[in-house]
Each structure stands twice: as structure tokens, then as C-alpha cells.
């Protein structure tokens, strides 16, 4: 239970969550104000006329496609990776480590995921069902467990699916970007889910261990305080 740097992730759980919510509400609120000026009111009525269970499935699909695209961008665009590497500094998987996410990363990914959902006008009940399942699933897929999902592993993100996303094994780099629906990765050609569990987790990037250092780390990297050549020399490898 009391693994290395667990207290750091408790700070993420309580304090970082507040920062993320404030940033997310401000950003999405401003964008929705602009979007509502151009989307016809009638469309919301059509979307909300569907049964709640169907809307919840549609919300999950729309939100996870947004999540996939944002997550993939955070891996493939070098300056975005600096922010996302904080999450990939997790070396021991557990539910608490799921909260170790840089606010810039989380606010941008949540916005890409939820803005289309709000813009399409899904009902609050459907979004609440989605949000509850998302939170529970996010904790489960990071947890220190080998629970298998059987054939459902192709439909719902499992610990096996997401642990491979965090594996520090070359063949697993830049795979399994979806948050909830592995078939999005299967369709996009980024699925990687061998039967065994990974042996090593983390990243070779020099992410510092403490919360305040991790907040500043991407900004210092982007500002050139740690030259890329020096990073490569320190680590012997640098993820894209
Ligand atoms: Zn990632």
C-alpha cells in the first residue's frame, strides 16, 4: 500500500483535482457559450428524445473518440508529451497513481472528450451515468490487479489493456490510447494486448519525483532549461 511517492499522489488526488475542475469549467464554459450561438436549439430536443441508456452509450462512444485523439496527440506531439510524461512516470500501477496527471494534460484531454458531448446536447442523466462509469473504470484500469475481462477485453478497457499502455517495453510504446473502448485502438491499428502482464512500467524521461517539481517540469523542458541533447544523454532514450 505504502509504495514509493504514494503521498505525492495523495496531493494529486485532493489538490490537483480542484485545479483541474476549475480550469475545465472555465474553458468548456467559454467554448460552450460560443458553440450555443451556432447550434440550433432543435438538435438538442432530437438528441434528448432518445432513451437514457442509448444516450449513455452514445456519450461513451463520442467521449472516448475525443479522449483517444487527444491522448494520441499527447504522445506524438513532442511538447505535449512533456506534460503527459508526468502521468507515465508511474512505475508501480495502482488506483492512487491514476490521479498523477499534469493539469494541462487533464484539462485539454477532458475538453477534447466532453466538448462534443455538451455541444450535441446529451441529457444530464446520460452524462452522469457516463461520468460515474468513467471514474470507476479509470481507477480499475490503473489498479494493481490482474483481473481478466475474458472476451469483454475487446469491448471494455481492462487493467490488462491499460497496464500495457504504461509498460516501459519498446513494443508497447504508443499503444492502447482509448480510455474505455479498446475497439477504437483495434480500428486505428494501435492495439497491443499480449496475454502476459508487463514487466516494467514508467518512462525513461527524467520526470522529477515531487508534485511541485512535476507541475514545473514540462514548462522547464519547453523553455529549454534542460536541453534535449542532455536529456537523451541522461536517459539513453527519449520517447517521441
Ligand atoms: Zn499515455
Cα(175) to ligand 1 centroid in Å equals 8
Cα(49) to ligand 1 centroid in Å equals 36
Section 99-122 average pLDDT: 94
Cα(65) to ligand 1 centroid in Å equals 15
Note the pLDDT of residue 110.
Answer: 95
Note the pLDDT of residue 227.
Answer: 53
Phi, psi values for residue 201, rounded to 5°: -120, 160
Classify 180 in phi/psi space as left (phi over 0), alpha (psi -120 to 50) or beta: alpha
Alpha-carbon distance of 109 to 70, in angstroms, equals: 5
Cα(8) to ligand 1 centroid in Å equals 19
Alpha-carbon distance of 171 to 43, in angstroms, equals: 44
Residue 232 has pLDDT above 80, yes or no: no
- The model's pLDDT over 71-99, given as tens digits with 9 standing for 90+, comes to 999 999 999 999 999 999 988 888 888 88
Note the pLDDT of residue 238.
Answer: 41
What single DSSP character describes residue 197? P
- The model's pLDDT over 31-87, given as tens digits with 9 standing for 90+, comes to 998 888 888 878 888 899 999 999 999 999 999 999 999 999 999 999 999 999 999
Cα(119) to ligand 1 centroid in Å equals 26
- The model's pLDDT over 128-174, given as tens digits with 9 standing for 90+, comes to 999 999 999 999 999 888 888 888 999 999 999 999 999 999 899 99
Q: How high does pLDDT run on average in the chain?
A: 88
Amino acid at each position: 500500500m505504502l509504495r514509493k511517492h504514494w503521498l505525492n499522489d495523495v496531493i494529486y488526488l485532493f489538490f490537483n483535482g480542484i485545479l483541474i475542475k476549475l480550469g475545465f469549467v472555465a474553458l468548456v464554459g467559454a467554448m460552450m457559450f460560443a458553440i450555443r450561438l451556432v447550434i440550433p436549439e432543435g438538435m438538442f430536443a432530437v438528441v434528448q428524445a432518445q432513451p437514457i441508456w442509448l444516450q449513455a452509450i452514445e456519450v461513451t462512444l463520442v467521449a472516448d473518440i475525443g479522449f483517444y485523439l487527444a491522448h494520441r496527440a499527447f504522445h506524438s506531439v513532442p511538447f505535449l508529451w512533456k506534460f503527459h510524461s508526468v502521468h507515465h512516470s508511474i512505475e508501480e500501477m495502482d488506483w492512487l497513481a491514476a490521479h498523477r496527471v499534469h493539469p494541462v494534460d487533464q484539462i485539454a484531454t477532458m475538453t477534447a472528450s466532453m466538448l462534443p458531448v455538451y455541444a450535441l446536447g446529451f441529457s444530464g442523466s446520460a452524462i452522469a451515468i457516463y461520468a460515474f462509469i468513467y471514474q470507476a473504470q479509470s481507477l480499475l484500469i490503473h489498479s494493481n490487479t490482474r483481473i481478466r475481462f475474458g472476451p469483454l477485453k475487446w469491448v471494455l478497457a481492462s487493467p490488462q489493456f491499460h497496464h500495457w499502455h504504461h509498460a516501459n517495453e519498446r513494443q508497447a510504446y504508443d499503444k492502447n490510447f482509448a480510455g474505455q473502448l479498446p475497439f477504437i485502438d483495434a480500428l486505428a491499428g494501435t492495439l497491443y494486448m499480449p496475454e502476459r502482464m508487463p514487466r516494467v512500467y514508467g518512462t525513461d524521461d527524467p520526470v522529477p519525483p515531487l508534485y511541485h517539481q512535476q507541475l514545473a517540469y514540462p514548462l522547464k523542458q519547453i523553455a529549454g532549461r534542460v536541453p534535449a541533447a542532455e536529456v537523451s544523454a541522461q536517459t539513453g532514450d527519449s520517447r517521441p
